[in-house]
Amino acid sequence: MALPDALNCMLATVADGDVIIEHPNRDKPESHTARALVVGLLLVSAAVLAVATAGGWSKIQGAKPLHVAYVLIYLLLAFYIARWRSGLLPVAASFAIILLIFCAISGPQWFSRDKPGLEDPLLDESVVGVLTLLLVPLQVLLIAVAARGFSQKWSVEVEQRRDGLQPYVAQSR
């Protein structure tokens, strides 16, 4: 069965092994910087959150699984974003927004626990409070850099043939 001419001219006449997929926006220094910053901010945020979680473990009520999940999610996001998965940048920004809200609300509460007679967590309450409040500017930076990285369009693909010709050629009759 013959295909209509409109569809016939759109078929690839080049074997898959002869086509090279290039990502031109990933070669730019700005893209490398944005990726490195996002990965670094995710790793630093995960580390600070892990220390704050471990330091206040005995006093964190009901949020222990959430803290552990956040650390694991941030590490997973850092891994995939380091491999140029730009679709995860908005996901990282959305997780950062949620963590920013939690930290902005809970940070001052750690300082109100810094009184005699209250049971001490592993780290001093003021240290856990500072670590929690330190996460706020880290998340603001993460949101800004992830948005900048997403606007750089890392996922744009350009097809090139190994021999330099056009990747798709209309078939002649």
Does the pTM exceed 0.85?
no
Cα–Cα distance measured from residue 52 to residue 76, given in angstroms and rounded to the nearest whole number: 19
Q: What is the mean pLDDT of residues 96-117?
A: 81
Per-residue pLDDT tens for 114-157? 566 656 667 777 788 889 899 999 999 999 999 988 877 766 66
Amino acid 25: pLDDT: 63
**What Å distances lie between residue 81 and 36, 67, 70, 169, CA to CA?**
9, 21, 16, 35
Measured in Å, how far apart are the chain's first and last C-alpha atoms? 15
Per-residue pLDDT tens for 35-87? 899 999 999 999 999 998 888 877 777 788 888 999 999 999 999 999 887 78
